[in-house]
């Protein structure tokens, strides 16, 4: 009988125990894999937070308490202007006035000028967050010994001002406003190119193209491969096509813009658009594929044409999926750095982009550039900018998840 061919009694117990042991080993392996991933992520976040906050040692060229009779925090607009006039050379004041008439500047701007031009903060050293929290005595001792007369203050490099001030050559006054606008412009151009083209291509491939034809199989394979092409290759493509070949278009020369070359937001946006296009196509295809065939059959069954079926039934039901995929593609575009370096993002620019033909910088470029600087205060603002970038990415991804959960259909 076959009964004897299976383990019995004692053997059976041993056999079952052995099976449980194997299961336990695998479970432990998977759990440790998860733990490693969580550790790596925590290390990343701690590292960034560590850099963005902490003690700074700084000194003033002029003591703010001695600059004016009232504390400078309490000065109003006219008093601030008077202070600037008294303390700056005539040439320097006139130059500032020519850039933007003093009386039209806000109190905040004037205050910034006073700090920057008169008080002249100089950062001597920055400390990371955890050292600041747990090793305060050592820091104080070091400051007293090395920088006598300097001030020690706990500073968050990530402030509301950090978001709204433009780029500056001094880390203390630099912000990500320019880069943030650059990123937003670039992503909007990328998406407004990639979304219609990508969805269109996906509809064609999924609903019209014959799955059997060799040509379509080749196209499909290529799209899948394009999604994995290193982004720097797209940078080369953008440089060759958008910056060089289509310079007349991307520099805006065709539209009467004369003061720029092809290294504009438009070039960068289109390059990013090409980069995320395969992602948009694949995601949209998946969403369209997920619409059950029975709905298509129902539509054809009442005499609908292919287009009526696609427009009234397939697209509305695939839309949440398409949107989710597109937002994920957007967050890819926000984070990409390499193509921008090649396409020619400016590393130092303090003017907000004014349109598609402006020179630009973007958040990752700014972070890259700041990290490359020698001074430790730039590393601190780089960490702060990374937090801004991460929050932006998390917001986009959270939106995608919310959309998916809200509109997900069950058939």
Query: In this chain, which stretch among 88-96, 224-232, 254-262, 299-307 interacts with another protein, using CB under 8 A?
Result: 299-307
Closest among 123, 186, 131 to 373, alpha carbons compared: 123
Burial class of residue 209 in the structure, from the number of CB atoms within 10 Å of its CB (0-12 exposed, 13-18 middle, 19+ buried): middle
Task: Give the count of residues interacting with another protein (CB under 8 A).
Answer: 21
Nearer to another protein, 121 or 319 (CB): 319
- Least distance to another protein from the beta carbon of 233, Å? 35
Q: Which of 298, 391, 398, 401 binds another protein (CB under 8 A)?
A: 298
22 C-beta neighbours (distance < 10 Å), count: 10
Q: Does 294 bind another protein (CB under 8 A)?
A: yes
262 C-beta neighbours (distance < 10 Å), count: 24
* CA 111/CA 354 separation, integer angstroms: 26
> Is there a contact between 104 and 32 (Cβ–Cβ < 8 Å)?
no
Q: Does 214 bind another protein (CB under 8 A)?
A: no
Q: Which of 170, 313, 359, 404 binds another protein (CB under 8 A)?
A: 313
Query: In this chain, which stretch among 37-45, 173-181, 310-318, 362-370 interacts with another protein, using CB under 8 A?
Result: 310-318
- The gap from C-alpha 170 to its chain's centroid, in whole angstroms, comes to 23
Q: Which of 250, 317, 358, 361 binds another protein (CB under 8 A)?
A: 317
* CA 21/CA 19 separation, integer angstroms: 5
> How far is the CA of 103 from the CAs of 86, 99, 110, 118, 164, in angstroms?
16, 12, 9, 18, 21
Nearer to another protein, 22 or 408 (CB): 408
Q: Does 411 bind another protein (CB under 8 A)?
A: yes
Q: Which of 208, 300, 348, 407 binds another protein (CB under 8 A)?
A: 300
DSSP-assigned beta bridge partners for residue 60: 121
Query: In this chain, which stretch among 92-100, 117-125, 207-215, 235-243 interacts with another protein, using CB under 8 A?
Result: 207-215
- Least distance to another protein from the beta carbon of 411, Å? 7
Q: Does 100 bind another protein (CB under 8 A)?
A: no
């Amino acid at each position: 009988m076959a009964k004897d061919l299976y383990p019995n009694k004692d053997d059976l117990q041993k056999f079952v125990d052995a099976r449980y042991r194997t299961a336990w080993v695998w479970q432990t392996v998977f759990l440790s894999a998860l733990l490693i991933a969580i550790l790596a992520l925590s290390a990343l976040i701690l590292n960034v937070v560590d850099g963005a906050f902490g003690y700074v040692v700084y000194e003033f060229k002029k003591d703010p308490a001695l600059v004016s009779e009232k504390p400078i925090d309490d000065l109003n607009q006219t008093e601030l202007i008077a202070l600037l006039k008294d303390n700056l050379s005539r040439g320097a004041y006139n130059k500032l006035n020519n850039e933007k008439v003093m009386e039209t500047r806000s109190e905040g701007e004037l205050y910034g000028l006073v700090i920057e031009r008169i008080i002249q903060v100089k950062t001597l050293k920055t400390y990371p967050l955890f050292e600041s929290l747990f090793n305060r005595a050592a820091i104080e001792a070091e400051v007293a010994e090395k920088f006598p007369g300097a001030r020690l203050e706990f500073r968050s490099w990530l402030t509301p001002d950090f978001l709204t001030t433009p780029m500056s050559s001094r880390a203390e006054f630099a912000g990500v406003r320019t880069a943030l606008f650059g990123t937003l412009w670039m992503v909007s151009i990328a998406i407004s190119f990639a979304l219609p083209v990508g969805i269109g291509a996906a509809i064609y491939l999924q609903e019209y193209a014959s799955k059997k034809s060799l040509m379509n199989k080749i196209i499909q394979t290529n799209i899948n491969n394009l999604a994995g092409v290193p982004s720097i290759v797209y940078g080369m493509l953008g440089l060759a096509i958008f910056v060089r070949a289509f310079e007349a278009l991307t520099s805006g020369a065709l539209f009467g813009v004369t003061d720029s070359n092809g290294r504009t937001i438009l070039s960068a946006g289109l390059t990013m658009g090409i980069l995320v296009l395969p992602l948009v196509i694949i995601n949209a295809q998946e969403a369209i594929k997920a619409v059950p065939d029975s709905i298509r059959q129902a539509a054809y069954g009442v005499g609908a044409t292919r287009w009526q079926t696609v427009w009234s039934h397939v697209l509305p039901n695939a839309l949440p999926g398409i949107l989710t995929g597109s937002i994920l593609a957007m967050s890819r575009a926000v984070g990409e750095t390499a193509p921008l370096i090649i396409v020619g993002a400016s590393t130092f620019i303090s003017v907000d982009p004014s349109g598609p033909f402006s020179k630009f910088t973007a958040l990752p470029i700014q972070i890259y550039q700041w990290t490359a600087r020698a001074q430790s205060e730039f590393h601190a603002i780089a960490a702060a900018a990374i937090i801004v970038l991460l929050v932006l990415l998390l917001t986009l991804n959270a939106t995608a998840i919310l959309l998916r959960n809200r509109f997900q259909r069950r058939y």
